Amino acid sequence: MTLSLTKNNIELVPLAEKYVKGFKLLVKDYEKEHNERMKTERPERKKTFNEMLNKSKSVVADELVFTATHKFFDNMSKDEIMKWANTCMDFVYNDLGYKKEQILHATLHMDELTPHIHCVVVPLVKKLDKRTNTERYTISKKQYIKDNIHLSELQDIYNLRLRENGFELERGIKGSDRKHIKIKEFKKITRYYEDKAITINKNLDNAMNDFEEKMKTTKNTLIDKDYVKVRKDTFESMQNVIKETKKVMEFQPKIEQLFNEVNTFSKSHQTLEKENNNLKR
């Protein structure tokens, strides 16, 4: 973070109070409801509001981070970045289901290499307590993100929302948390990259062949001091070669990353196998 650039940060939802005070204001009705309930509770079961929250181990505030690769933001104007930020916040409101008053703070950071959003939310809900058949406040992150399957669905929706608003963003591979991935899933990911590499190389070969054919049939190319004049279809073919070459160059780091991960995976497997043999002995 560059301190001189923090002035460029944009408050999407300003921090009205410090986090703790803001949280207390947001959950004041929940705390009041809890304190009323404690009046009729047995002495040994009484807890302060803070004790109850700490014991429940609930996620009392969740930080959502929205970002993309540095290349995604290349050549974007400030207005376009703001459009992306507003699309992210619409996702928070309309798809995740948070109300604006549940957001303690949301900032678009423009003081680092890649723009990103930090959004702090409080998963406060009012839901039916089946035991008493009454509606009660509770804090539950699972009401907004139920499990990993639901999270994957939300990631699909987020990708769709960006595309609907004119942003080209490649969806990450589902289940690609390599720290906890099964061998079967890892094989799927490597196959995905292999297939993509074949497709990208094939497209580049086709573009190169097409360009070479166009150049063979291009006659009477005009060249003067400052310009080269070629047929429109030849120029379009040249542009296509450039586009497909860029795709190859962009894909190269992903292949290198995958190679490193396969290498690490292999070494880890060998280490585990050695440890297993030692344990057997």
pLDDT tens-place string over residues 97-153? 999 999 999 999 987 778 999 999 999 998 888 877 888 898 988 889 888 888 888
Question: What is the mean pLDDT of the segment spanning 252-275?
Answer: 68
If we measure between CA atoms, which residue out of 148, 138, 154 comes closest to residue 60?
A: 138
Q: Greater confidence, 65 or 16?
A: 65
Q: Is the pTM of this model over 0.85?
A: no
DSSP-derived pairing of the beta strands 103-109 and 10-13: antiparallel
- For 3-164, CATH number out of 3.40.50.2300, 3.40.390.30, 3.30.930.30, 3.40.190.10 equals 3.30.930.30
Contacts 24+ apart (CB under 8 A), 251-258: 251/196, 251/197, 251/200, 254/193, 255/193, 255/197, 258/189, 258/190, 258/193
Residue 264 has pLDDT above 90, yes or no: no
pLDDT > 90: percent of the chain = 21
The CB density around residue 68, as the number of other CB atoms within 10 Å, is 15
The token pair at 254 is: 């992903």
Largest CA distance in the chain: 98
What pLDDT, on the 0 to 100 scale, is given for residue 175? Answer: 53
Task: Report pLDDT digits (tens) over 57-103.
Answer: 778 888 999 988 878 888 889 999 999 999 999 999 999 999 999 99
Beta-carbon neighbour count of residue 89 at 10 Å? Answer: 21
Mean pLDDT across the chain: 80
CA distance 83 to 69: 17
Higher pLDDT, 240 or 86: 86
- Whether the Cβ atoms of residue 145 and residue 86 lie closer than 8 Å to each other: no
Give the C-alpha separation, 49 to 40, whole Å. 15
